[in-house]
């Protein structure tokens, strides 16, 4: 991996992954691909090349790949689960149509391709505890439908055309840098903002709603490590369960209270998000990722909470 194109470089994952890859690939071009209205700013703009790359436009992807001699594409364009329910046609166009464009360009130009899948690729008929790597995937959200389709299409391109397509199923991602938008797991980011601002947090999910979550530094490391893993060891490709922590609103609130004793949480349920969260696993079994490419998380809830609070205080206060 030397010359990398990140599609969706100004989003929640992209804005941090672009910076990490610029450190990781010295002497290479790590291109921040953005869409109109979401142009890169500040250090993201100043530290390397940027190109307008709309994932629904295959020519734009091909032109950027050609111009910078790209060997690896990170496809991070997506609508998150709750917002996708209000725009299912657009979610399909970006999630599946966009992926198809990336796969075709990768096939033609010989690029490796990373496309995140998600805990959202599972549904109500999936075993909810220690969800296995290979299990039932019948999601009921359009977000999940695009993710399962993407997993299968990526494996098809790997088998049929030899495209080096790999991915991980991300848990809810928590970070103090770029906010997520329209996800079901976003409450676990918003709660830290409320705690640091001294505001009461209104939780959209009820107590007992467990989901897998992960701190962004672990997620970024996973995205890099899977693409650099020894292919001869990989029995799976699209997509690996990865996990680091699972909690419900009560557990994260109690953890925050250890460091912010005045913190208060009340409940104001969002029926859409609750239904989505109820259909997702409570905890994933990530043993295949551990065996096949030595995946190992570094952050648990306590370490993440301390880091989030320190950094959000710097950012907000
Ligand atoms: N964080 C995503 C969401 O909540 C799940 O992958 O939509």
SS (H, E, C) the chain: CCCEEEECCCCCCHHHHHHHHHHHCCCCCEEEEECCCCCCCHHHHHCCCEEECCCCCHHHHHHHHHHHCCCEEEECCCCCHHHHHHCHHHHHHHHHHHHHHHHHHHHHHCCEEECCEEHHHCCCCCCCCCECCCCCCCCCCHHHHHHHHHHHHHHHHHHHHCCCEECEEECEEECCCCCCCCCCCCHHHHHHHHHHHCCCEEECCCCCCCEEEEEHHHHHHHHHHHHHCCHHHCCCCCCEECCCEEECHHHHHHHHHHHCCCCCEEECCCHHHHHHHHHCCCCECCHHHHHHHCCCCCCCHHHHHHHHHHHHHHHHC
Q: Which of 74, 143, 157, 187 is catalytic?
A: 143
- Ligand 1 site, residue 170, Cβ cutoff 6 A: yes
pLDDT at 181: 83
Compute the average pLDDT of residues 166-184.
94
Tens of pLDDT, residues 62-85: 999 999 999 999 999 999 999 999
Instruction: Among 173, 184, 190, 216, name the best residue to mutate to test ligand 1's pocket (greatest count of ligand atoms within 8 A of Cβ).
Output: 184
Res. 104 pLDDT band, cuts 50 70 90 = very high
Q: Which atom of ligand 1 is nearest to the CA of 172?
A: 1
- The first and second tokens of residue 275, run together, are 């239904």
Task: Confirm whether 143 is a catalytic residue.
Answer: yes
Does pLDDT of 115 surpass 90?
Answer: yes
Beta-carbon contacts of residue 81 (< 8 Å; ≥ 6 apart): 118, 120, 141, 143, 144, 182, 183, 184, 276
Q: How confident is the model over 102-131, as a mean pLDDT?
A: 98
Percent of the chain beyond pLDDT 70?
100
- What residues have CB less than 8 Å from 4, skipping those under 6 apart? 21, 25, 28, 29, 30, 31, 70, 71, 72, 73, 74
Q: Which residues pair with 207 in a beta bridge?
A: none
| CB 28 less than 6 A from any atom of ligand 1 | no
**How many Å lie between the centroid of ligand 1 and the Cα of residue 117?**
10
Q: Which of 55, 62, 68, 64 is nearest to 27 (CA)?
A: 68
pLDDT at position 17: 98
Contacts of 130 (CB under 8 A, 6+ apart): 283, 284, 285
Does pLDDT of 307 surpass 90? Answer: yes
The DSSP bridge partners found for residue 52 are: 34
Question: Does the predicted TM-score (pTM) go above 0.85?
Answer: yes
pLDDT of residue 41: 96
Q: How far is CA 286 from CA 142, 221, 265, in A?
A: 24, 15, 31
Give the mean pLDDT of 111-137.
98
How far is it, in rounded angstroms, from Cα 314 to Cα 302? 19
**For the chain, how many residues are written?**
317
Give the range among 124-138, 171-185, 273-287 with minimum mean pLDDT: 171-185
Each residue's pLDDT tens digit, 193-232: 999 999 999 999 999 999 999 999 999 999 999 999 999 9
The reported pLDDT for the residue numbered 21 is 98
pLDDT score of 179: 84
**Stretch 26-44: mean pLDDT, rounded?**
96
29 touches ligand 1 (CB under 6 Å): no
* pLDDT value at 13 more than 90: yes
- The residues with which 211 forms a beta bridge, in sequence order, are 247
- pLDDT (mean) for 122-126: 98
Ligand 1 atom nearest to 185, measured from its CA: 4
Residue 68 alpha carbon to ligand 1 centre in Å: 31
Q: In the prediction, which pLDDT does 180 show?
A: 79
If you measure from the C-alpha of residue 232 to the centroid of ligand 1, how many angstroms do you get, rounded to a whole number? 31
Domains for the chain: give ranges and CATH numbers: 4-171+215-241 (3.40.50.720), 172-213+245-283+299-316 (3.90.25)
For residue 119, the ligand 1 atom closest to its alpha carbon is 6
**Are 78 and 118 a contacting pair, CB within 8 Å?**
no
- C-beta 185 within 6 A of ligand 1: yes
């Amino acid at each position: 991996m030397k010359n990398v194109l990140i599609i969706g470089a100004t989003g929640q994952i992209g804005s941090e992954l672009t910076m990490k890859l610029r450190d990781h690939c010295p002497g290479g071009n790590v291109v921040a691909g953005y869409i109109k209205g979401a142009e890169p700013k500040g250090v993201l703009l100043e530290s390397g090349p940027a190109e307008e790359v709309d994932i629904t436009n295959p020519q734009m992807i091909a032109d950027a790949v050609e111009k910078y001699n790209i060997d690896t594409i990170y496809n991070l364009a997506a609508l998150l689960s709750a917002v996708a329910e209000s725009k299912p046609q657009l979610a399909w166009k970006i999630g599946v149509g966009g992926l198809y464009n990336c796969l075709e360009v990768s096939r033609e130009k010989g690029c490796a391709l990373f496309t995140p899948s998600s805990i959202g690729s599972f549904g109500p008929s999936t075993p909810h505890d220690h969800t296995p790597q290979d299990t039932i995937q019948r999601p009921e959200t359009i977000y999940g439908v695009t993710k399962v389709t993407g997993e299968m299409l990526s494996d098809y391109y790997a088998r049929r055309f030899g495209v080096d397509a790999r991915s991980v199923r991300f848990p809810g991602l928590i970070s103090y840098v770029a906010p997520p938008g329209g996800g079901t797991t976003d409450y676990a980011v918003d709660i830290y903002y409320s705690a640091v601002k001294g505001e009461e947090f209104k939780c959209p999910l009820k107590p007992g709603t467990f989901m897998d979550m992960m701190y962004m530094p672990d997620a970024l490391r996973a995205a890099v490590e899977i693409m650099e893993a020894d292919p001869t060891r990989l029995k799976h490709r699209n997509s690996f369960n990865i996990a680091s922590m699972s909690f419900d609103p009560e557990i994260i609130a109690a953890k925050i209270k250890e460091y912010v004793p005045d913190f208060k949480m009340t409940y104001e349920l969002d029926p859409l998000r609750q239904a989505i969260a109820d259909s997702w696993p409570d905890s994933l079994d990530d043993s295949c990722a551990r065996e096949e490419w030595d995946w190992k998380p570094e952050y648990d809830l306590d370490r993440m909470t301390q880091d989030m609070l320190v950094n959000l205080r710097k950012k907000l206060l």
